[in-house]
Each structure stands twice: as structure tokens, then as C-alpha cells.
């Protein structure tokens, strides 16, 4: 019979940016902006506490995404706890293209595993990652949230998910420009065509391959490597201000992309405090927020 560990368990999970321009549904990068989750097994019932991003909107019952993810993990681990207390401190903005749902899913699965005695033996990292990808429906955000760093991911049959980590040059950082209102992922995806021209697909494949090399060791190639042909322009009606900012930054030689499904804009830069980072932060549109984020080499961590 499954036994549970005494006392609370704390997990932090990074924000993520998927696509990164041409790498639609396949590339993802973990960023050093972390949600913090704490949970413990209790005698009965469910208590959910939330502060920070989404605190006014998310449910406090079994439909909470972290709770649903924990339940799915407990099922695989062999037993549901008699009761749960969950506390979430959210800093990853919701519906902005920075992986808030993936952070919740990954955090829930990792929390549940850590609450079970011998949980990592009962569910290894491969099984835990595949569960998170099934819950999310696609792996490009959960892969870096779980593994950290830069991850290439996909699936073969709709459920056979895979992820491969790739290196990131230590000179690479990011500035994210976050608008005041969000865009739901299903809305952004709904604007995409069923087919694209073969020439666009070929051009996108070349840029995706170059982006892997650029992030690994040749950041001077990031501007060329982040040119997208598959999804960003199609999504312009849902986020015209975001695409206008991408266009303006790219016209000045900055490697800028829509982060995930948007509407956040990510611009590649170097270190916090550099002249490039300073100049980028100064270009934040009125009413938006901007900050420099380092690449998070760690994924979800049990603290």
C-alpha cells in the first residue's frame, strides 16, 4: 500500500516560452520566473489557497489544475491521499504565453510524486514527463518546465511523447514584454490554417535547425534563426499590438518573437544590466510590463 511522507512538500516550477519563432509546437525554453507550490497530506477534505497571478479567477476545488494533475499522478502512484492542503504562490502571468498551465501541471505531478514515499521509484522522470504531456495535450511547454533549459519535444502517435534537452549558450538571456490583457491559447490556435505553402514549411524547418545551433553556441545567428513562417502572422488579428512590437524590434535587428501562443513578446538579449537589455527594457509599451529573465537550467525543483 502506498504511504505518504509527513509534513509539507514545496516545489517550484519555471515559466516557459514555446515556439521561439519557427519552432512551432516543438521548441521550449525555461525562464527563471518560478511559481511556488506547497502541499501536504491531511486526514480529510481539500483546502486550496492561491495568491498572486490568477488568484481572483482560479477555482479552489477539485477542478483546480494543480489538484487535477496531482490526482492523475496519485492514480498512477497507486493511491489517493485521504485529504490535501495545497498552497500556490503564482508569479507566472496567466494567459500570456509564458506557460502558466504547464507550470501548474508539472508542479502538481512533481508535488504528488514527492508526497509519496519512494515516489521517484514508482514513477521515474520519463513516466512523470509523459503524464504531464498527456495532461497538457502537447509537450513543448511542459518539457522545459519539467527538465529545465532548452528542450526539443514532440510526439509520434498523439500519446508517445518525447523530449531531448539541448545546450544553451551562457550569453543568452531574454526580455519579456507582457501586455495587460491575455489571449486564450485555443483562440490563438483557432486562427491557424489547416495547410501552409510547402516553401514556407521548408523555410521554417531551416530556421528551426539554425535556432538550435544559435542557442547552443552562436547567438549572433538568433535574429536570422527566429524568423517564423508558420504561425505568428496568422495570429496577428488576436494580438496586433504584440506583432507590431515584434515587427519594430526585428526591424532594428533584435531577435524578437511571440512567446508561446502570445500575447507576450520575447526578445533575446544577453545579461541583465547590459546595454542591449537596458535599451530593450526602455522600449516597453505603455501599460505593459517588461523584465529580464535568465534561462532556467533547472526545471521543477523539490525545495
DSSP 147-171: H-SEEEEEESSSS-EEEEEE---TT
Tell which phi-psi region holds residue 54, choosing left (phi > 0), alpha (psi between -120 and 50) or beta. left
Categorize the per-residue pLDDT at 186 as very low, low, confident or very high, splitting at 50, 70 and 90.
confident
- Tell me the pLDDT tens digit for each residue of 29-40: 999 999 999 999
Q: Answer yes or no: do 140 and 238 share one domain.
A: no
CATH number for the domain that contains residue 132: 3.30.230.10
- Tell me the pLDDT tens digit for each residue of 43-92: 999 999 999 999 999 999 999 999 999 999 999 999 999 999 999 999 99
pLDDT on residue 243: 97
Q: Answer yes or no: do 136 and 193 share one domain.
A: no
CB 71 within 8 A of CB 86: no
Q: Answer yes or no: do 89 and 115 share one domain.
A: yes
In a domain, 99, yes or no: yes
Q: Answer yes or no: do 77 and 177 share one domain.
A: no
Q: How many other CB atoms sit within 10 Å of the CB of residue 253?
A: 8
Count: domains in the chain: 2
Q: Answer yes or no: do 155 and 269 share one domain.
A: no
Name the DSSP class of 184. Answer: -
The residue among 30, 26, 18 whose CA lies nearest residue 298 is 30
Name the DSSP class of 123. Answer: S
Gap between the Cα atoms of 227 and 78, Å rounded: 46
Q: Answer yes or no: do 158 and 208 share one domain.
A: no
Q: Answer yes or no: do 21 and 128 share one domain.
A: yes
Q: Is 6 exposed, middle or buried (0-12, 13-18, 19+ CB in 10 A)?
A: exposed
Residue 32 belongs to domain spanning: 9-167+298-302
- Tell me the pLDDT tens digit for each residue of 124-150: 999 999 999 999 999 999 999 999 999
In a domain, 4, yes or no: no
Residues of the chain with pLDDT > 70, as a percent, come to 99
In a domain, 2, yes or no: no
Annotated binding-site residues read: 93-103
In a domain, 148, yes or no: yes
Find cell 514527492 and name the residue.
Answer: 114
Q: Which residues pair with 77 in a beta bridge?
A: none
pLDDT on residue 63: 97
Helix axes 100-115, 65-77, angle to 10 degrees: 40
In a domain, 206, yes or no: yes
Gap between the Cα atoms of 239 and 185, Å rounded: 12
In a domain, 3, yes or no: no
Gap between the Cα atoms of 77 and 298, Å rounded: 24
In a domain, 217, yes or no: yes
The residue among 136, 180, 179, 174 whose CA lies nearest residue 25 is 136
Is residue 1's pLDDT more than 80? no
CATH number for the domain that contains residue 186: 3.30.70.890
- Tell me the pLDDT tens digit for each residue of 82-128: 999 999 999 999 999 999 999 999 999 999 999 999 999 999 999 99
> Which residues are within 8 A (CB) of 58 and not within 5 positions of it... i.e. 6 or more apart?
50, 64, 65
In a domain, 224, yes or no: yes
The residue among 104, 255, 239, 105 whose CA lies nearest residue 178 is 239
Q: Which cell goes with 14? A: 519555471
Q: Answer yes or no: do 83 and 177 share one domain.
A: no
Annotated binding-site residues for ATP read: 93-103
Residues of the chain with pLDDT > 90, as a percent, come to 93
Coil, strand or helix at 280:
helix
Q: Answer yes or no: do 158 and 26 share one domain.
A: yes
CB 79 within 8 A of CB 2: yes
CB 24 within 8 A of CB 2: no
Q: Answer yes or no: do 149 and 37 share one domain.
A: yes
Q: Answer yes or no: do 225 and 117 share one domain.
A: no
Q: Answer yes or no: do 152 and 192 share one domain.
A: no
Q: How many other CB atoms sit within 10 Å of the CB of residue 194?
A: 4
pLDDT on residue 2: 77
Categorize the per-residue pLDDT at 158 as very low, low, confident or very high, splitting at 50, 70 and 90.
low
Amino acid at each position: 500500500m502506498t504511504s505518504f511522507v509527513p509534513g509539507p512538500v514545496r516545489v517550484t516550477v519555471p515559466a516557459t516560452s514555446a515556439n521561439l519563432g519557427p519552432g512551432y509546437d516543438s521548441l521550449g525554453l525555461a525562464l527563471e520566473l518560478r511559481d511556488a507550490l506547497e502541499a501536504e497530506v491531511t486526514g480529510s477534505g481539500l483546502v486550496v489557497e492561491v495568491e498572486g497571478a490568477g488568484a481572483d479567477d482560479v477555482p479552489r476545488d477539485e477542478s483546480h489544475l494543480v489538484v487535477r494533475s496531482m490526482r492523475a499522478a496519485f492514480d498512477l502512484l497507486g493511491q489517493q491521499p485521504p485529504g490535501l492542503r495545497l498552497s500556490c504562490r503564482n508569479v507566472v502571468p496567466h494567459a500570456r504565453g509564458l506557460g502558466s498551465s504547464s507550470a501548474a501541471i508539472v508542479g502538481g505531478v512533481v508535488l504528488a510524486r514527492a508526497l509519496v514515499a519512494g515516489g521517484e521509484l514508482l514513477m521515474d522522470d520519463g513516466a512523470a514527463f509523459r503524464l504531464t504531456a498527456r495532461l497538457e495535450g502537447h509537450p513543448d511547454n511542459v518539457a522545459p518546465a519539467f527538465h529545465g533549459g532548452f528542450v526539443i519535444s514532440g510526439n509520434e502517435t498523439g500519446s508517445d511523447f518525447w523530449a531531448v534537452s539541448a545546450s544553451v549558450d551562457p550569453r543568452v538571456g531574454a526580455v519579456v514584454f507582457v501586455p495587460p490583457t491575455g489571449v486564450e491559447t485555443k483562440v490563438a490556435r483557432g486562427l491557424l490554417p489547416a495547410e501552409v505553402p510547402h516553401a514556407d514549411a521548408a523555410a521554417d524547418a531551416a530556421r528551426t535547425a539554425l535556432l538550435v545551433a544559435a542557442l547552443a553556441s552562436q547567438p549572433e545567428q538568433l535574429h536570422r534563426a527566429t524568423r517564423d513562417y508558420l504561425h505568428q502572422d496568422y495570429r496577428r488579428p488576436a494580438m496586433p499590438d504584440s506583432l507590431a512590437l515584434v515587427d519594430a524590434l526585428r526591424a532594428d535587428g533584435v531577435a524578437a518573437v511571440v512567446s508561446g501562443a502570445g500575447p507576450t513578446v520575447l526578445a533575446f538579449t544577453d545579461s541583465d544590466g547590459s546595454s542591449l537589455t537596458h535599451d530593450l527594457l526602455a522600449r516597453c509599451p505603455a501599460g505593459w510590463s517588461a523584465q529580464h529573465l535568465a534561462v532556467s537550467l533547472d526545471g521543477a525543483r523539490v525545495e
